[in-house]
């Protein structure tokens, strides 16, 4: 199963009626019917919006969810409860478990640890703490310690984004040198001060008559962050050289 073609975590505008959805799916699934789509909705596999008058409106992402469900039924004979787990994983930006596996996992191309690469893949991923521990090959207790010391933080629903995987991996690597989560609060404080340096620049770019777009502001933030991280690395190297 190749899940890379499915991107359910992205929001999409609801545009299509149930009849239009039927037309889009019928070429591949000749036996699809309105009652079947309603049945899948009743079982929580898809959640179309409703107009004030009660008509269903489906987004293109909803159509792909339905296509995924129907393929898993046809090609792998999976029960709806298992497919529902797959849909939940895809909705959170994860790769669903293989047919023979039991747990979803982060996308293989989640992020680069060599440079700042906060992409939509990383920010759309939502992981439970046990999934985060599994993805980073650590443990729930270690991830919880990182939470307690503020290095990673779950959202209001209790999920961690993809960037947390890189933080846990980095912190876990430092354990080999005797550095535990409690020692890394200094690194967090340093990162916070560095962000404080360019936050006014970003705010200025988003204000006034010539305000930058959200995408431009995000790009500016990443450029500034990358430049500061590069400078930080060089300064650490310079300090080490002075001590030798």
* pLDDT tens digit sequence for 178-194: 999 999 999 999 999 99
Say whether 120-182 and 3-91 share the same fold: yes
**Record: fold of 3-91:** Multidrug-efflux Transporter Regulator; Chain: A; Domain 2 (1.10.1660)
Please tell me the least confidently modeled range out of 14-18, 36-40, 151-155: 14-18
Query: What integer pLDDT is reported at residue 104 of this predicted model?
Result: 63
Residue 4 confidence class, pLDDT cut points 50, 70, 90: very low
pLDDT of 114 higher than 70: no
Q: How many residues does the chain have?
A: 244
Between CA 102 and CA 96 the distance in angstroms is 9
CATH, domain range 120-182: 1.10.1660
Higher pLDDT, 151 or 136: 151
pLDDT at 120 over 80: no
User: Would you kindly state where each structural domain of the chain is located, as residue ranges?
Assistant: 3-91, 120-182, 184-243
Evaluate the CA torsion angle 21, 23, 27, 30 in order and state its sign.
positive
């Amino acid at each position: 199963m190749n899940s890379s073609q499915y991107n359910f975590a992205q929001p999409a505008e609801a545009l299509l009626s149930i009849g239009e959805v039927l037309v889009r799916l019928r070429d591949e699934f000749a036996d699809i019917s309105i009652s079947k789509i309603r049945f899948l909705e009743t079982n929580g596999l898809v959640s179309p919006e409703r107009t004030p008058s009660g008509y269903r409106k489906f987004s293109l992402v909803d159509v792909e969810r339905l296509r995924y469900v129907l393929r898993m039924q046809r090609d792998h004979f999976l029960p709806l409860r298992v497919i529902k787990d797959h849909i939940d994983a895809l909705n959170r930006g994860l790769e669903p478990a293989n047919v023979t596996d039991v747990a979803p996992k982060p996308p293989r191309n989640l992020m680069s640890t060599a440079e700042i690469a906060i992409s939509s893949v990383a920010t759309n991923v939502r992981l439970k703490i046990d999934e985060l521990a599994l993805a980073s090959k650590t443990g729930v207790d270690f991830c919880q310690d990182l939470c307690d010391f503020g290095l990673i933080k779950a959202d209001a629903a209790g999920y961690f984004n993809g960037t947390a995987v890189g933080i846990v991996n980095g912190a876990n690597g430092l354990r080999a040198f005797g550095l535990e989560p409690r020692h890394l609060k200094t690194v967090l404080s340093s990162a916070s001060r560095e962000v404080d340096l360019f936050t006014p620049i970003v705010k200025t770019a988003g204000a006034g008559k010539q305000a930058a777009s959200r995408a431009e502001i995000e790009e500016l933030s990443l450029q500034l962050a990358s430049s500061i991280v590069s400078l930080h690395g060089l300064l650490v190297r310079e300090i080490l050289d002075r001590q030798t």
